[in-house]
Amino acid sequence: MEFRIENDVLGEVKVPKDAYYGSETQRAVENFPVSGLHLQKSIIHNYAVLKKACALANMRAGKLDKKKGDAIIKACDEVSSGKFDDQFVVDAFQAGAGTSTNMNLNEVIANRAIELLNGKRGEYEIVHPNDHVNMSQSTNDTFHCVTHMAAYECVHKGLIPALEELEAALSSKSKEYSKIIKVGRTHLQDAVPMTLGQEFSGYAGAVSTVLRHLKESSNALLEIPLGGTALGTGINTPKDYSKYAIEELNSETGYNFILAPNVFASMQNQIDELRIAGAIKEVATTLGKIANDIRLLSSGPRTGISELVLPAVQPGSSIMPGKINPSMAEMLNQTCFHAIGNCQAVEAAAAAGQLELNVFMPLIAFNLVFAINILSNAARAFTKRCISGIKTNDAAISRYVTMNISTATALSPYIGYSKAAEIARKAYLEDKSVIQVCLEMKVLPKEKLEQILDPHRQI
């Protein structure tokens, strides 16, 4: 490999000759060979959009030369389009605050802008990563901002639509199953009757609730500390820079970002990130519960509950021929576990902030976006390849309703709890239906019993 030599405060650095990144990125690559994982494209692309907004603001304020500014803006557009994705090589687990990623952006944008101005990569007297691309900025304010931007975008373009699709599919099943009477279950034991539609309406309602909470929580991400620079004081920024930068950012994204009411609080704390992490945990916990129920209700096919028949998406065993597993629900469970773990990592990192800055922002950003993305993809696949194709095992459902001893609950107002309990116990021990035992014990006339124990009446 051929190299070019760059210099920084620590001395000479050998950088691959064809790389658009520079010395700080190269040092980060050498220092942090940790996971092989990189911050997500949504973070990198949004960072480029942010850099463009900052350049436009600096130009409006008369601080950035138009010729350099126009080249930087074009380079930012190319980066945000994904043209230089292979140049973002810093590990997700890196030095604190996200300085390495910020400089990776600054260097790639600077070197591309230099090319656009007919220079060669590394000729930083033309466009400098710090002096020009990072003008009026610090990692400390911009990395906070881009975390909000990427998380907000991924929530609104990915997770919210995926949850809306799932809610719609569950609601559709609720209507489809509105007349199918089944045995409800509490404590994993038989309970009073309900309809399968009512059960699915509970799932749809739960998704609707967490969806509402997610939308509400995501609004907190619209408050950003752009222009706070190092600590929140706005050192090295021109007059009205924050105002201009946020206006440009909103023009670029179509969102409605605003300056945080207290920039110091925003930069010292991760309250907004904690709030969205909490909403993501709600989503993961709720989807996990639904996946658990689907697995239980489809267990069998001969020795389980077997009320639901799931779409067969793949063979289930490498040794047992013909076995089909609830693969999509199992996938969703695992995704939910991981997303919850991501959010717990966010909480731990947020709690570890010190004084004017939380240096663990790269971990927070990576885990937030990762959790949002995997839940989006998993929910969409679960909807398409599981929920939409569910069928019912009507014979099993009917058999359970007939032999359900908890229907004796409806007798309590007529014969009292103790007598009803005695009947239920006798039905269980003798493997009879409740109505059979009632007729044998002559507790009420047959017509009255049929009316009281009619499962349609009980739901």
Query: What is the arithmetic mean of pLDDT over 196-225?
Result: 98
Q: Domains for the chain: give ranges and CATH numbers.
A: 3-135 (1.10.275.10), 141-223+261-395 (1.20.200.10), 403-458 (1.10.40.30)
**Residue 14 forms beta bridges with which residues?**
5
Query: What is the arithmetic mean of pLDDT over 171-179?
Result: 98
Percent of the chain predicted with pLDDT > 70 = 100
Query: What is the arithmetic mean of pLDDT over 12-35?
Result: 98
Strands 181-186 and 258-259: unpaired
Which pLDDT score is estimated for 58?
98
Query: What is the arithmetic mean of pLDDT over 341-349?
Result: 98
Query: For residues 232 and 105, what is the distance between their CA atoms, to the nearest angstrom?
Result: 22
pLDDT class for 172, splitting at 50, 70, 90?
A: very high
Which pLDDT score is estimated for 88?
98
pLDDT class for 190, splitting at 50, 70, 90?
A: very high
* 300: CB partners within 8 A, 6+ apart: 306
The mean pLDDT of the chain is 97
Query: For residues 104 and 54, what is the distance between their CA atoms, to the nearest angstrom?
Result: 16
Range list of β-strands (E), 253-368 = 258-259, 308-309
Given a cut of 90, whether residue 152 has pLDDT beyond it is yes
Which pLDDT score is estimated for 123?
97
**Residue 11 forms beta bridges with which residues?**
8
Catalytic residues: 317
Q: What is the pLDDT of residues 375-398, one digit of tens each?
A: 999 999 999 999 999 999 999 999
Decide if 392 contacts 129 (C-beta within 8 A): no
Query: For residues 252 and 52, what is the distance between their CA atoms, to the nearest angstrom?
Result: 9
Which pLDDT score is estimated for 82?
98
Which pLDDT score is estimated for 325?
97
Query: For residues 216 and 447, what is the distance between their CA atoms, to the nearest angstrom?
Result: 53
Cα dist from 173 to 63, 259, 287, 365, whole Å: 60, 44, 16, 36
Given a cut of 90, whether residue 27 has pLDDT beyond it is yes
Q: What is the pLDDT of residues 88-116, one digit of tens each?
A: 999 999 999 999 999 999 999 999 999 99
Query: What is the arithmetic mean of pLDDT over 261-282?
Result: 97
pLDDT class for 1, splitting at 50, 70, 90?
A: confident
Which pLDDT score is estimated for 204?
98
Percent of the chain predicted with pLDDT > 90 = 99
Which pLDDT score is estimated for 205?
98
Q: What is the pLDDT of residues 38-91, one digit of tens each?
A: 999 999 999 999 999 999 999 999 999 999 999 999 999 999 999 999 999 999
Decide if 126 contacts 114 (C-beta within 8 A): yes
Range list of β-strands (E), 140-187 = 181-186
**Which has the closest alpha carbon to 45: 82, 97, 88, 86?**
82
Decide if 192 contacts 211 (C-beta within 8 A): no
